[in-house]
A and B are shown apart, each in its own frame.
Chain A
Amino acid sequence: MSENMFRWEADGDGIVTLTMDDPTASANTMSAKWGEDFAETLKRLEAEKDSITGVVLTSAKKTFFAGGNLDDLVKYTKADAQKVFDQSQEIKGLLRRLETLGKPVVSAINGAALGGGLEIALATHHRIALDAKGSKIGLPEVTLGLLPGGGGVVRVVRLLGLADGLMNVLLQGQQRAPKAALEAGLVHEVVDTPDELISRAKQWVKDNPGAVQPWDEKGYKIPGGTPSTPKFAANLPAFPANLRKQLKNAPMPAPYLIMDAAVEGSQVDIDNAAKIESRYFAELACGQVSTNMTRAFFFDLQAINKGASRPDGYEKHSARKVVVLGAGMMGAGIAYSCAMAGLEVVLKDVALANAEKGKDYSKKILDKAVSRGKSTQEKADEVLARITPTEKPEDAAGADLVIEAVFESPDLKKKVFNEILPHLAPDAVLGSNTSTLPITDLATGVDRPEDFVGLHFFSPVDKMPLLEIIKGEKTSDATLAKAIDIALQIKKTPIVVSDSRGFFTSRVIGTFINEAVAMLGEGAAPSSIEQAGSQAGYPAPPLQLMDELTLTLPQHIREETRKGVEAAGGTWVGHPSDAIVDRMVELGRKGRSSGAGFYEYDESGKRTRLWPGLSEEFGAAQGDLPFEDMQERMLFAEALETVKCFDEGVLHTIADANIGSIMGIGYPAWTGGVAQYIDGYPGGLPGFVERARILAKAYGDRFQPPASLVEKAEKGQSLRGE
């Protein structure tokens, strides 16, 4: 048997310090070894109880404890329910023994305590956190489609009450810095140094020999009441309704089941509450959505942030000085993101006034951050000082990065590049923030196309984490490696795609909107279309989104694409949405910016209601279309286009497809991304193919599954290739 990962050190006062230090990993997790060692340690504590004053629990790692073992969790299926339930019960049994040892137990939280880490700490009588840089405390299980199954729901409810516990900790999985965790009531003390951490912990043990958990005190009542308290009960019916309003009825079971476990658990004793929690945990852990979300938000994201698509053999690059060409909304946002990451930024526009206006965008964001206490005036001033607005190309002198963000015109783009080129460092990365124009063509405008790369940011840049990096035909691996490094440097999540009209994101999102618009012509009620999008889990309903993007944009892109296809000798296949978009544009209803679109807007530009004329124009009536079909048409249209992107070599990795679709174009998070949606569909990839054929029969050949997908289905494979 290997060494116990709970290192036992007793001091002269009889205080046992247990230091968790898993020898097989860089962080402590709830592995099988942890369970065995914890059980053994508990046995010893119980046996030697009389000679022990108390216990301090801490960790030898940088973090306190990293939580559950996601490698296992992601694989569970319905058949594993008993196993998962038993494990969850076992862990809670151990933690219950710790908190009822009869001796004070203190957590000395030396670093991040997320998920299982906080659950362990919650089972101790006192929690002291070290204010370590980057340390986070919270129960983020919900963000992976799970619930805290190690007693987290049970104890947070008993510690903070139902309303507080649900809203501030459980339902959104907030991760807090130690001081914020103190404010939220999750820890009792925050200290500044590791020495203080242990000495304070030991002092508390000495001062509190009779420590028991609040919920084990006689006469304890859950703060704020339970369903049997009239005042609480009066508001209870609105709890699930409000949650549903917030989540728009998207199929994300975790938040609802967390609420169920919390409320049901509040009506019984702690051991029965634990059982209820374990049952709900097993359901989530064995369900598809937690698999989807864990894959995307943990494994895929981790792969991307480790630079999975970065060509090997190139030294790590960091940009020093960037020239942002064009100070419109995108350019201004890019300037802000770069300045925040410490780059020297030259924000250039044709007129100085425009450039200054672009800089104001950063000032506004920073002012807000200062006023909300999220930053200091000093830091804000520092960031702003890095941005130089200008109209002079020579201010770009020596810059090692260009990000062009001017109007989507190939000629204009080529012109601004040539204007700036002579002033740059000789090997500067030449990036274009185009959302649709082929990079290979734009690269013909510069004398060193191997340094040219697409850097497609998303609006608003300061909030959207994705960067779609587009490799033109001539883009070199060295440039690609630099682009990925720059993305990570400015704290963006990079995906890498090859050049094609619309790349990956713009191309795929178009199919979603087209599908929604087409339904208008099939008699769907406009609000049914919006609800279908929302209830499928899209962050913005499709007609609303189309109004925001303006209807002339897809019209323009469609025309360009048609010309391109025809010029290449292909046959252009239109979409049933085309006529509707054309008619709307003809009516002058081009979207929000034109004051009218699928919606009506008041003078201030506020959306008031769906345009009642839609029914008359397009025959939209009370929907005969099955609601489920409406939802799946949107999801399938994007998934099928994604498969084509793989077939055409535009996409290279599943992780890029999943993360790009969720973070860039609002593909529903519960699916785990557009590729995972296919693999996670009931019946897996073959089930997806079967359903696609049914949709094709009912709604048109655009839903026919591509040959590559059919082939995989026949072989029983998944898209991920497992």
Chain B
Amino acid sequence: MRSIVMAVVLLAGCAAPEPAAIRDARPTRLQRGERMLVEASAPLFTVGAPTTVTLDALGVTLPARAVAADRVVAELDADTRAAGATTVSVTQGAQHWSSDARTPFDVELCAPALQHLANGWAARLPGPAWLWWALALLGAAALVAAPLPVIAGLIVVWERKVSGYMGSRFGPNRVGPNGWLQWLADGLKLLMKEDIVPADADARLFRGAPYLAFIGLFLTFIVLPFSRYAIVADLDVGLLFLLSVTSLVVVSIIMGGWSSNSKWALLGGMRSAAQIVSYELPASIALLTIATLTGSLSTQQIVAAQGGWPWQWNLFRDPFTFVAFFIWFVSALAEGNRTPFDLPEAESELVAGYNTEYSGFRFSLFPLVEWVNIAVLGAVGTLLFLGGWRVPFVGAATIDAHPWLDALGFATFVAKDLAIVFVVIWIRWTLPRFRVDQMMSLCWKYFIPFAFVSFVGETVWTWLVPAAATRIAGGALFVVFGLGFGGWFVSRVRDNARRYQDLVLNDALGPGPR
């Protein structure tokens, strides 16, 4: 297949034989003080001759040495102030080679602060260095995850307010300003409740399950890039990490459901296992679509590959990413047990599903996880499809020059995240629930095939379609779906909201005989 495609491409004259080129030998990001290795596709260099490596975009020239005919090693200056993606030139005497702009080298600034801290501890304190590293990372993660209950609480209140508005009633409006502290009251109440473990439950698993769910979600905050700097660790395996740790939540749900020794909880746990395992496939394939076109699993890289304007987002990049977004979104709803896929805790069928037997603090962890999960869902959607923290006119270099602009990126990210969260809430209070067989057939008969089509299509697209055509397709998609369809949708919503207001008979019946 590939040879046929290549032959077509060659006949069309689109591809010429590749010239000898240099590239980043390790497809990882570089940090200050690290060694970089530049690799040539042919023996170009003279070993031992004076050599320099220039990071073109950053204007940094580093002393280097050619260790082999095709290898140059340079030490990245610890004082390098700039960061970002760049091409690299290697100079040896009068000879000069430049790397391909399509495979940029990446220089990063954020994590070193952590690294310095950890290295400082390791130098002064006993114990292995990796331990201090782990501690530093954990501390940073805790710092990011500390607001987790607050996020969950505020989303709960918000959800209740939205649902109240939709169901023509008031949401919480008593505790705190306009009810916004309701989550605190509810949380405290749950903390003071008795922690009941049913007599016939598997006590150890029963007690452990909620923590597992919490840990699974807590860990995702490590790779979520809230802004250029606000990220705990930009792991090279970011997306993979995200997928794997969120799976812990399923384990916890099954564990909780099974160990409760209650039939309702068991049914909820079983449903959850079937549902989440099924929907993880289309969701992962949709994520892979983005990973393929970006060429990286790192969350920051994926954000960096997009632009600030909507037509530069992955959502509107080409038809396949557009499809992938919706597949991912619906699958993520299913993974997060949200309506119309809230079968594991279908309150009208299974009492409360997998958490039927829980009470007190252990119970409170499940809703906490559920609501933080919505925020995580929104964050993942933002970074993958909606341009992450990218702001128009403010590039990475601008933020490095004016660090306060990072707050703008953070605000952008949070705004996009909340927009997705709102849509999720909106869907929950609009739609009924699927039945378990309908949900399964939706996943296996429609979503997985469509996800594969979008994945393969995206691969072919990135391979064959030139960048200019992609830009035109993206613009067209944005105009048709973003402005056209989106505008039509918004006007419909406004129309319905107005119609709904007309239907409220506010005190029109007058005071009763009370």
On whether the two chains bind one another, the answer is: no
Interface residues in chain A, defined as those with a beta carbon under 8 Å from any beta carbon in chain B: none
